[in-house]
Structure 1
Amino acid sequence: MSKRDYYEILGVSKSATAEEIKKAYRKKAIQYHPDKNPGNHEAEEKFKEAAEAYEVLSNPEKRSRYDQFGHAGVGGAAGGGGGFGGGMSMDDIFSHFGDIFGGGFGGFSSFGGFGSSRSSQRVNKGTNLRVKVKLNLQEIANGVEKKIKVKKYVSCSHCNGTGADNGTAYSSCNTCHGTGHVTRVSNTILGQMQTSSPCPTCQGEGRVITKKCVHCNGEGLLREEEVLSIRIPAGVEEGMQLSVSGKGNAARRGGVNGDLLVLIQEEPHPDLIREGRDLIYNLTLSIPDAILGSTVEIPIVEGKVKVKIDAGTQPGKILRLKGKGLPEVNSYQHGDLLVRISVYIPKELSREDSKIIEKLKDSEAFTPKKGEEQNFFSRMRSMFE
């Protein structure tokens, strides 16, 4: 398939001036820009086609060869992959030609992600601030609002964070003429190419301070102590990091604040052990309580509960108290409280206690039944652990 005539693509005559060609390309690019035609493949191809035509016609040498030999003079026979637009990506097109649109693109503030930093002044961002917060088990179970005192950079109130005296002692940067970026032209095998980078004089701000604020020495920042209120959800755990947007250090000379990163640390509970959402309590029974049964108090996060111990409870048994564990973060699900049973075996006995045990030694009730010896010895080992 033959390529279309470049002059026809841009809608200009063969006698068009360089400025007319530039204006025509700008008009076509705005018409078929990807931001204006999302998902439209035909518009995207026309956008690339216009870029290819402009790349040739904006270069005097290439335009002369094209006028004399047609497409063959600028990249091969008609219908081949000639010209550079056919093989360039969107990023390449914006990289080379984005600067002809000045500070914006026909009302677009950026190029839809394609080189947007080239068409706008650089936005400063403050650094993140990291703090550690210790929580006890009750705070983790219920969630808590913590007030913490931190030293951080805040915007200077005397200059409103601008760094300029009274916030107004500014002038346009002479290097970039207020655009925030500088453009350089280099010669390549494809012709002259334009590249843009943040202005080294104003660091991309487009303006310079004529008189610095005496309170912050032109930085726009002051280091102060601030009390921050942080809402921590229920169910967090050791090592988890929460991010609070905009509560970090202020940006130099205005911009976007950094974030506050909150690292969670757990204070150990005197009785309960945490395993994910579940809590574990190790309960040690006396021999009579294990044999005859009893009622015991078990600690939970909110206090204590009474639990009935059945007669004949064996060492190693686990009682499960449903829903008495910890919640999952941002969920209605709760873990359980697991009560692990062990039995206390005294190392020393009085003479009277020894006589009682001797009487029980030959009792049938205290003799493991056939086939239960292994379970019996396993339980006995657990009692001594």
Structure 2
Amino acid sequence: MTEHQARAAAAVLAEGLRDLRTLAARLDPPARVTVPAGPRAELLAALADRLGVPLAIGPAAPDGDSGVFERIIGERLGPALGRPGLDGLADDPTEITGIADRVTAASFDRFRTPLDAVAPDGARLPVYTAGDPAAPAVLIASACGMPAELCSRWLELLGDEYRVVTWETRGLFTDEPDFDKLAWDTEAQAGDIFTVMDHLGIRTAHLLGFCGGSVIALAAAGRGPERIDSLSLWHGAYELGPGSPKLDHHRNIQALMAMAAEDRETAAAVHAVFLGTMLGSTPPDLAHLVLYPFATPELFFRYCRLNGAITDIDVNPLLAGVDHPTLVVTSEDDTTANPLGSAEVARRLPNATLSVEPTGDHISLFKLGGRLGELARGFLREHPGGRAASR
């Protein structure tokens, strides 16, 4: 095993750790990673410390039991910890610092702006950007409560032609002094779009809405129509009043979130049930991101407050007056959001185009499955826009 191969093996481990940082930072007590005492445990501890990933590293717990998130973290790190060549680096602090810093520089962290945007009520919004600041702007209103890193492939895809921007949901990713003093309704979340635009000096933009972000995008288009050039709404879950087309999964999720949003005690009581529901539909390679809002009962309570406000709102009033060029995308087999809801939204918007893909869901959306990238690029080229704010 050469030194180069040893460094490469350590870099793979560091990449796994960096991927877990957002989730691990929320777990209390820190997740246990079972590694026998020795050079590999020392290397893991040194890299975790340098990357700011809180972990409890050592032998298995006496009872042999591990929680959901410990299993997720263990499965994420397991292949990297099993690679040959990891021994012998732990006693070289300079080497470890270099590996960790190189991994950080190439990670999704490179897209984060130095300062968060701050909403009028004090909510801090972590902001991520890619592309030329002078290029037309594309904003991604992503799924409520999901880490921005889920949008990484979109930033990389569109960043060569556009200034691509996304942000993370208020109250879920920063240490807010008092979440209960922040607004959490749809109106506040739509306002965050303009907070982010003003923060970056963006006058107008194309707005992509992913999942529940589609509802936020519609609300923003009605609130500030002159600042939105065009819209695309991807796999939206819409409440369209009595008889609204919904799948059983959507109804069940709504019911659980409504219960959990009532108070923290109820959220803690149904937390495990909701987590079990999500585990069954989350691919292992994205579990550390998709399950972030369920890491603790407190995060789960906040998520249900914020996401419930989106899934429960009647979008009929939001559709009125939205005449922007709009692409509505769904699939024939989405098992989370009923495709008929997207079809109805497209029918009601006067300047909308509906695209029903043969297959796809919320996960394939973030993985840029099928021809989604081609659809997005094609629509953006037909409807160019996005300007910097006048100085």
With normalisation by structure 1, the TM-score equals 0.20
Of Structure 1 and Structure 2, the greater helix share is in 2
Q: Which structure is richer in relative contact order (CA contacts within 8 A, separation 6 or more)? A: 2
Of Structure 1 and Structure 2, the greater strand share is in 1
**Larger-Rg structure:** 1
